[in-house]
Structure 1
Amino acid sequence: MNNILIKKTTAFFEENFGSEPKKIVLSPGRINIIGEHVDYNDGYVLPAAIDKIICFAFEKNYTNTSKIIAIDLDDSFEVDLTTDMELTDNVWTNYIRGVINQLKIKGFEFDGFNCVFSSNIPVGSGLSSSAALECGFLFGINELFELKIKPVDIALMGQSAEHWVGINCGIMDQFSSVMGQENKVIKIDCRTLEYEYHEANFSDYSLVLFDSNVKHSLMTSAYNERRQQCEEGIAIIKSNFPEIASFRDCNEQHVLKLQDVMSANVFKRCLFVVKEIKRVRLACDALDKGDFETLGKLMFETHQGLSVDYEVSCAELDMIVDTLKKEDAVVGSRLMGGGFGGCTINLIKKGHEERIKQQLSALYLETFGIELKIYDVKIGNGTSLYIAK
């Protein structure tokens, strides 16, 4: 599938610019195995790069202007690199401008270039196509002009570019897109950015994403509200337990002892966060032992917490997970991402995938009148140069 995308992107470049590209870059989307809504609570996350990618083709053009073509959008724009970058109404171009802005702010010197890109990452499904766009574009410029930017700094600059666009994201998406390794997940410490790899060779299992195909409008307001509730909760915990600096220093008993001095919602949010941080640690232990049954159990527990305590699920996502929980062949399932729609991530024993896909799709259509989207994913490498064999 990616070979087809690479050929298409390369051919399009040659057709438009009359020469072969000098650099081809592959930049992946990402999944998160476990560790939801803890990135802004000093927790750990457990993401991985996947085999859905954006393919970029680059060459220098020896001017002060760059031309960038988005094949899938049938759109393009030119940018004068000598001018200050400004946001525009054409949203996709802002991510590109944001990267150029980061390079200029940090004093990197580079000239004009031509770039085309195309993607097989489903947009709007919570697989971080924006992070893949920022980091792949930056990686390509870095390679083309030999800027010697370190991979971790590419991730951080990608995050800053997204902040410039107006989306206050954490570091997980860019970090996993750049730093991913095949058949490995990355445990990222969201407080220090320390990271470690854990084997995730799902040889007897398939990772399948079921996209609910719904987006409930509560997302932004609810996200901000959850952050405020967590800030209120940790302030109460710190005032009662001075030795505690953040949620990762807490256990469930700390939260339970303070139930009477917290509002019901603040208590539930805090309890979820403390349990979820613990689940990430347990998930790493399970992966190290090749214990996928325990990993799956933790995924189900995360969904229950997100639905009941953090209250960011919805009827469609709950229906998917509840249905799959009755299936012996599904060892784990949970909503992935911010919630209120988007995907569930599901760990299914090989040999049962097609039956489960067909049965769930039919039941979902019957229940909600909505087509379920389905994506098979494998854990792949982070952003890299493509070298033709």
Structure 2
Amino acid sequence: MKKKKLIENTASHFAQVFNAQPAHIFLAPGRINIIGEHVDYNDGYVLPAAINKYICFAVSANDSGEVNFVAKDLSDAHHFRLSDEIKPIDKMWANYMLGVLSQLKEKGLRLQGFDVVFSSNIPMGAGLSSSAALECGFGYMLNKLFSLGLSKKEIALIGQQSEHTFAGVNCGIMDQFASVFGKKDHVFKLDCNTLEHDYHPADFTEYSVFLLDSKVKHTHLTSGYNDRRREAAEGLDILKSKFPQVKTFRDLTVAQVDAHQEELGDVRYRRCHFVVGEIGRVLEAVEALERSDFKKLGNLMTQTHHGLSKEYEVSCEEIDFLVDRALAEKDILGSRMMGGGFGGCSINLVKKGAKKEVVNRISEAYQKQFDIEPAVYKVKISDGCKEYKKFKGAATAGE
């Protein structure tokens, strides 16, 4: 669904439910990550970008002290009073928003009742961070609606904390940062330790990026994610005991990890080997982008997938097949799994003009192998969370 249609449908549903036009429309984007997977919570660097897939929020304040969440796509809703104690409930979609609202109340910020309808064209389960878009878009919306004075950084951190406390996923900061700080036609290198970031033009000129959605999401995503985080942290503790000067993974070299393979044990060794290697690949990828060396960038993406599949073990049979089949195409420079893993999407760097034929061949092979037709998403790099000013019912206050 295109952005304009998404906005129209969301606003129309708001009018249907609340018998009035919404006062404001907000958009919160999903994200891609060019490279730097599973290092955001390991004090590394990542290279994400916001994309033109969104969660749309239609919202108005009310004078009743009531809060009304309406999830259009799920045909579900949650209602409560702002004065009620806010705690997790059995609706996971609502918990992402409740976790944000809980923090705002704890900060003593002045809020009032409101009605919100949201809808999305971010493919669910595809690794495009719809949860971060929901958290951060909701936080951004409330910040503007009630003039709370929060910075973009604060909104991203509130979104991350919501996922930790109300959704139970101990995620890093990349997804939330990308949703808030995205900039059209730019990727940004984020230092996940200091949260410093710098933008780099994403002018792929003769190349384009597309995603292939495997249409699978294996059930051990959350448990597997938390296990990997724990295993990497245990490995780092061992390595810090061997090298007192080391504070984070970025202080280590691959050679240092290799030197203590036996003490680490097989699993922790592979986790640490991947993390240290991936941090280095992100820095190489930034240099490759600055030089417009897309062959190098593609090679780095492919190396990342090998590490994710064999060392960090967060891929799956279906994604490995999509990547292997893509790399058999001469017009694809690089391919890898993207996101938390155990399903979702592959991200592919392809020569412009070749995408249609390449996608058809890969899709045919995948469907023959798994009896699943993959979805294809061509994405453009977009801005982060913002108010949509062109909506005729929206207020004209500045962003």
Q: Please confirm whether the aligned pair reaches a TM-score higher than 0.5, indicating the same fold.
A: yes
Q: 1-side partners of 2:237 and 2:11: how far apart?
A: 54
Q: 1-side partners of 2:221 and 2:143: how far apart?
A: 35
Deviates more, 1:142-151 or 1:378-387: 142-151
Helix, strand or coil for the counterpart of 2:69? Answer: strand
Q: 1:2–1:53: 8 Å Cα contact kept in structure 2?
A: yes
2:221 maps to 1:219:
yes
Give the equivalent residue in structure 1 for 2:394: none
Q: 2-side partners of 1:218 and 1:147: how far apart?
A: 38
Give CA-to-partner distance per residue, 1:330-387, whole Å, 9 cap, x none.
Answer: 1110001222211111111111111111111111111112221221211111000111
How far off its partner does 1:285 sit? 0.8
Q: 1:23–1:143: 8 Å Cα contact kept in structure 2?
A: no
Q: 1:47–1:176: 8 Å Cα contact kept in structure 2?
A: yes
Are the structure 2 counterparts of residues 238 and 373 from structure 1 closer, same or farther at C-alpha, using a change threshold of 3 Å?
A: same
Give the equivalent residue in structure 2 for 1:376: 378
Q: 1:210–1:375: 8 Å Cα contact kept in structure 2?
A: yes
Give CA-to-partner distance per residue, 1:189-244, whole Å, 9 cap, x none.
Answer: 11111111111122322211111122233434433333333223222322222222
TM-score by length of 1: 0.96
Give the equivalent residue in structure 1 for 2:147: 146
Give the equivalent residue in structure 2 for 1:64: 65
1:1-389 equivalent positions in 2, closer than 5 A: 1-165=2-166, 166-388=168-390
TM-score by length of 2: 0.93
Q: 2-side partners of 1:215 and 1:20: how far apart?
A: 37
Q: 2-side partners of 1:24 and 1:221: how far apart?
A: 35
Helix, strand or coil for the counterpart of 1:115? Answer: strand
Deviates more, 1:291-300 or 1:249-258: 249-258
How far off its partner does 1:54 sit? 0.8
Are the structure 2 counterparts of residues 115 and 229 from structure 1 closer, same or farther at C-alpha, using a change threshold of 3 Å?
A: closer
Aligned partner letter, 1:227: R
Are the structure 2 counterparts of residues 225 and 135 from structure 1 closer, same or farther at C-alpha, using a change threshold of 3 Å?
A: closer
Helix, strand or coil for the counterpart of 1:63? Answer: coil
Give CA-to-partner distance per residue, 1:290-335, whole Å, 9 cap, x none.
Answer: 2221111100010111122222222211111111112121111000
Q: 2:333–2:350: 8 Å Cα contact kept in structure 1?
A: yes
Q: 2-side partners of 1:193 and 1:355: how far apart?
A: 40
Helix, strand or coil for the counterpart of 1:348? Answer: strand
How far off its partner does 1:20 sit? 2.6
Give CA-to-partner distance per residue, 1:11-46, whole Å, 9 cap, x none.
Answer: 222333333322110100111111111122211111
Q: 2-side partners of 1:137 and 1:290: how far apart?
A: 36
Give CA-to-partner distance per residue, 1:161-187, whole Å, 9 cap, x none.
Answer: 222212221111111101100111121
Are the structure 2 counterparts of residues 228 and 344 from structure 1 closer, same or farther at C-alpha, using a change threshold of 3 Å?
A: same
Deviates more, 1:335-344 or 1:273-282: 335-344
Are the structure 2 counterparts of residues 63 and 96 from structure 1 closer, same or farther at C-alpha, using a change threshold of 3 Å?
A: same
Q: 2-side partners of 1:176 and 1:88: how far apart?
A: 27
Aligned partner letter, 2:66: T
Are the structure 2 counterparts of residues 72 and 256 from structure 1 closer, same or farther at C-alpha, using a change threshold of 3 Å?
A: same
Runs (5+) with no aligned partner, structure 1: none
Deviates more, 1:84-93 or 1:342-351: 84-93
How far off its partner does 1:97 sit? 1.6
Q: 2-side partners of 1:71 and 1:217: how far apart?
A: 25
Q: 1-side partners of 2:314 and 2:156: how far apart?
A: 27
Are the structure 2 counterparts of residues 66 and 233 from structure 1 closer, same or farther at C-alpha, using a change threshold of 3 Å?
A: closer
Helix, strand or coil for the counterpart of 1:27? Answer: strand
Q: 1-side partners of 2:371 and 2:15: how far apart?
A: 44
Aligned partner letter, 1:83: D
Q: 1-side partners of 2:78 and 2:218: how far apart?
A: 32
Give CA-to-partner distance per residue, 1:120-173, whole Å, 9 cap, x none.
Answer: 001111111111111111211111111111111111111112222122211111
Q: 2:125–2:217: 8 Å Cα contact kept in structure 1?
A: no
Q: 2-side partners of 1:98 and 1:218: how far apart?
A: 23
Q: 1-side partners of 2:205 and 2:256: how far apart?
A: 39
Are the structure 2 counterparts of residues 365 and 140 from structure 1 closer, same or farther at C-alpha, using a change threshold of 3 Å?
A: same
Aligned partner letter, 1:231: A
Q: 1:63–1:112: 8 Å Cα contact kept in structure 2?
A: yes
Q: 2:189–2:197: 8 Å Cα contact kept in structure 1?
A: yes
Q: 2:169–2:222: 8 Å Cα contact kept in structure 1?
A: no
Are the structure 2 counterparts of residues 58 and 218 from structure 1 closer, same or farther at C-alpha, using a change threshold of 3 Å?
A: closer
Helix, strand or coil for the counterpart of 2:74? Answer: coil
Runs (5+) with no aligned partner, structure 2: 392-399
Aligned partner letter, 2:84: T
Give the equivalent residue in structure 1 for 2:397: none
The runs of 4+ residues in structure 1 deviating greater than 4 Å are none
Q: 2-side partners of 1:129 and 1:199: how far apart?
A: 24
Q: 2:41–2:171: 8 Å Cα contact kept in structure 1?
A: no
Identity of matched residues, %:
50
Number of residue pairs matched? Answer: 389
Deviates more, 1:39-48 or 1:228-237: 228-237
Helix, strand or coil for the counterpart of 1:169? Answer: coil
Q: 1:32–1:336: 8 Å Cα contact kept in structure 2?
A: yes
Q: 2:63–2:113: 8 Å Cα contact kept in structure 1?
A: yes
Q: 2-side partners of 1:329 and 1:191: how far apart?
A: 36
Q: 1:29–1:53: 8 Å Cα contact kept in structure 2?
A: yes
Deviates more, 1:130-139 or 1:223-232: 223-232
